[in-house]
């Protein structure tokens, strides 16, 4: 699944099948394998009283295999607000995550998998070790002949259930095609030739509307600008192919900027 941004990483850990509108770049993808990377730090600045002021920090640390091991949201002074620690199994699948906040509270979740003969996931079960026996979330995968998949999430309780929670469909390139909630609202996704979202149809029982994204690329195919309504986001890349800055504007006024620094092995 593809999930964008700091908060999306936390949500991946807590509710694996939720989908979000924002397209995902490499520096945002919690599941991306980055064997060359030790840490990534993002500092976000917002416009306040005519100047950009740091409002938040994001820190990611990677294990030797290149999997994310720690993901933290911090205050500008470095104080931790919330974090998630990840472990992965020998096959590169998520095994556990531990959510922790500034009070010291920790919540642990474990993952178990059922595979088909080709080692594709058929079921993924998310459990809270502190919860009553029989209480868990289970994602059920159905693989299509075109290489895509449909994933349905069920909520199980100790004495009742299962209850269908949400459904998602992905194409053979692992791009989200459709996401529906248990209440029936759905989002349908369209992509350009670079694999970036161009349009999202959001539909409820009563009406529907579209979110439209317009993107521009440099000669190497890297995203350099994305426009959504009055909001324009520009992307500055480093020589190593990592995002250096993400700058958001409303009209001609910069409203937010995130600056990324990397430590490589």
Q: Does residue 175 surpass a pLDDT of 80? A: yes
Instruction: State mean pLDDT over 138-148.
Output: 97
pLDDT for 3: 33
Indicate the number of domains in the chain: 1
pLDDT for 54: 98
Write the secondary structure of the chain as one string of H (helix), E (strand) and C (coil).
CCCCHHHHHHHHHHCCCCCCCCCCCHHHCCCCCCCCEEEEEEEEEEEECCEEEEEEEEEEEECCCCCEEEEEEECCCCCEEEEEEEEECCCCCEEEEEEEECCCCEEEEEEEEEECCCCCEEEEEEECCCCCCCCEEEEEEEECCCCCEEEEEEEECCCCCCEEEEEEEECCCCCEEEEEECCCCEEEEEECCCCCEEEEEEECCCCEEEEECEEEECCCCCEEEEEECCEEEEEEECCCCCEEEEEEEECCEEEEEEEEEEEEC
Instruction: State mean pLDDT over 150-161.
Output: 95
Average pLDDT, the chain: 89
pLDDT for 206: 87
Q: Which domain holds residue 23?
A: 5-264
Instruction: State mean pLDDT over 58-87.
Output: 95
Instruction: State mean pLDDT over 94-106.
Output: 94
pLDDT for 25: 61
pLDDT for 205: 80
Query: How large a percentage of the chain has pLDDT more than 90?
Result: 81
């Amino acid at each position: 699944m593809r999930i964008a941004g700091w908060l999306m990483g936390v949500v991946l850990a807590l509710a694996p099948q939720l989908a979000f509108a924002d397209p995902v770049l490499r520096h945002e993808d919690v599941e991306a394998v980055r064997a060359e990377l030790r840490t990534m730090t993002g500092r976000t600045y917002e416009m306040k009283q005519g100047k950009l002021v740091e409002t938040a920090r994001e820190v990611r640390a990677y294990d030797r295999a290149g999997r994310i091991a720690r993901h933290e949201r911090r205050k500008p002074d470095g104080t931790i607000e919330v974090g998630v620690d990840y472990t992965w199994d020998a096959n590169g699948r998520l095994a556990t995550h531990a959510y922790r906040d500034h009070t010291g509270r920790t919540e642990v979740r474990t993952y178990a998998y059922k595979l088909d003969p080709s080692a594709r996931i058929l079921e993924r079960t998310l459990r809270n070790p502190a919860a009553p026996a029989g209480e868990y979330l289970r994602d059920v995968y159905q693989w299509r002949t075109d290489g895509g998949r449909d994933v349905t999430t069920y909520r199980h309780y100790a004495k009742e259930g299962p209850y269908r929670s949400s459904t998602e469909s992905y194409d053979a390139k692992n791009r989200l095609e459709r996401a529906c909630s248990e209440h029936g609202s759905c989002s349908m996704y369209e992509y350009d030739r670079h694999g970036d979202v161009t349009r999202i149809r959001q539909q409820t029982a009563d009406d529907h509307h579209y979110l439209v994204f317009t993107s521009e690329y440099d000669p190497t195919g890297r995203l350099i600008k994305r426009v959504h309504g009055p909001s324009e986001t520009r992307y500055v890349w480093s020589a190593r192919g990592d995002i250096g800055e993400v700058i958001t504007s409303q009209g001609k006024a910069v409203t937010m900027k995130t600056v990324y620094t990397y430590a490589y092995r």
